[in-house]
A and B are shown apart, each in its own frame.
Chain A
Amino acid sequence: MSPLCRFLRTPEAVAGAIILVALFAMALTAPLFFPRDPQAIAGPALLPPFQDWSLPLGTDRLGRDVTAELFHGARTSLAVGLAAAAAALVIGAVVGTLAGFAGGLVDEMLMRITDAFQTVPSFLLALAFVSVVGPSLGVVVAAIALGAWTGPARVARAEVLSIRERDFVAGARVIGMHPLEIAFREVLPNALPPVLALSSVIVAAAILTEAALSFLGLGDPNRVTWGGMIAEGRTVLRTAPFLSIVPGIALVLTVLGVYLAGEGVVETTAVRRSLS
């Protein structure tokens, strides 16, 4: 049975995949369905959902279209989540590979730096970084990656430590390959599977961190974010709870979808690896 078949037979994985597909569809079609600036006023303020079919999810305190905000917010969540996770995985894999492969003083130094980053709670780190540098999409991505690369670095290092003892690494040295080429072309690709297995957790955490930063007003002010929407809705929580509930549900579903689909991929490929 191919991994794809096995994936499709796991109900949680399929549920996760469906959520992810819907999310990507929302993100990709946002400028198509809602070409107007989502932060522009679209109707009367505080219109409840399902009242006016041109504004299906109603409007917020300022009369902005919640549906448009939700769609455009999906773009931000996905972009930040994926970019931050990708950055964290790349940084972690490179640092872990260098530490594990070089050994000695380089290893010692890199791992102490990793320790230092790991002891600071990653949300505080992100908060401090954005407060100092100022909120923009790139800074938010960097801030989240800053707190997320240590896990991949540790996993990569452990994997590299075992791989570097294998004959094919000795073989690469014997043919005169440069140590950096050995580290990144021979060793790193073989160390990647367990590192990549972390990606769903990291993407989910990154999306949550982004929402939390936006909730605290440290998101990119020029973009709609779900965290920002929840914060906006908080002021009218009693009279218009849907303003917080709608983006809240979107956030929970997204994190769940990323996690379930990611676990599904890891499960199905892990089975394949243990069978071969």
Chain B
Amino acid sequence: MSSPLLTVSGLTKGYRRTGKTIAAVDGISFHIEPGETLALAGPSGSGKSTIGRLMLRLIEPDAGHIEFEGGDFLSLNGAALRARRARLQMVFQDPLAAFNPRATVARVLDDPLRIHGITSRRERPRRIAALLERVGLSADLVARAIHEISGGQRQRIAIARAIATNPSLIVLDEAVSALDVSVRGQILQLLLDLQREERIAYLFISHDLGVISAIAHRIAILDAGRIAESGNARTVIDAPQSAIGKALVAAAPKLNRTSVRDAS
């Protein structure tokens, strides 16, 4: 068997609050295979976003290991880390906050291509147009400012930026939560298509079990910084074993019913 794309072990991160340290992430271990989607679910404050930010070295863990593409990801620094970032990307929840308010679509997509030397300067406009087409957008959007396009278009741009450097893993932190239901379905379909064609793995952070069951192969349910249970996404969602898993599943159908009613 091939080795996993990503192996996380014993990841721990605490925040000091009024003197005592509370563990936002408490000895988490998991792995992701190439081309696989692992969902992280759990109630608010259970540490999902913290794990995502740890994975991208936006914050540093107190303890633990992250092995990515066969190398120690936590030992990388400076230029070596920046170069490695090409392979590990992220899509944020709020597609407006994720971009410089002054940016244009062209600049947002040009940056990763330039920084990682993906294509020569002359070739970049063509590459940018191809990326836009890849995420289902018209190439006419390049000249627009980020604040001049819709939320759904913006999230597609965020995905285009993430895939610009041919990553093997993308962390998606509530990437579809801010979108309305119809757009959400399209974005999920785009993610599924990209995964099928490019074998990109996803760490899909969400509190919405409906969305998770549509996209994830495996799921890990977090509770207060620990993994309460994990396994095949279908199996766990159909028959949760942990108390927190049962609670999440019990809450989910109600949400689904209301959303169906709203749509009709």
Contacts and interface: CB of A to CB of B under 8 A. Distances in A.
B176 to A, nearest CB: 16
A175 B112 contact: yes
A133 to B, nearest CB: 39
B112 A168 contact: no
Contacts of A189: 102
Nearest to B88: A174
B85 A174 contact: yes
Contacts of B56: 170, 173-174
Interface in B24-59: 53, 56, 58
Interface stretch (B7-15, B92-100, B254-262): B92-100
Residue among A167, A175, A178, A186 facing the most chain B CB atoms (10 A cut-off): A175
B99 A176 contact: no
Nearest to A182: B100
Nearest to A185: B100
Given A170-B58, A170-B92, A176 B98 contact: no
B58 A174 contact: yes
B243 interface: no
A167 B94 CA distance: 8
Contact of B101 (A171, A177, A190): A190
Contact of B92 (A167, A176, A178, A186): A167
* Most chain B CB neighbours (cut-off 10 Å) among A167, A178, A186: A167
A79 to B, nearest CB: 31
A238 interface: no
Contacts of A173: 56, 58, 85
Contact of A177 (B90, B98, B111): B111
Nearest to B79: A178
A256 to B, nearest CB: 34
Interface residues of A, number: 15
B22 to A, nearest CB: 20
A234 B153 CA distance: 69
B97 A176 contact: no
A168 B96 CA distance: 9
B85 A176 contact: yes
A138 to B, nearest CB: 34
Interface string A21-34: 00000000000000
B86 interface: yes
Given A174-B90, A175-B115, A176-B116, A168 B58 contact: no
A176 B77 CA distance: 11
Contacts of B103: 168
Interface in A132-181: 166-168, 170-178
Given A170-B53, A174-B58, A177-B115, 14 more contacts: A167-B94, A167-B98, A168-B103, A170-B56, A171-B92, A173-B56, A173-B85, A174-B56, A175-B85, A175-B161, A175-B165, A176-B83, A176-B85, A190-B102
User: What are the 5 closest A-B residue pairs judged by CB atoms, nearest first?
Assistant: A176-B82, A176-B85, A167-B97, A175-B112, A167-B98
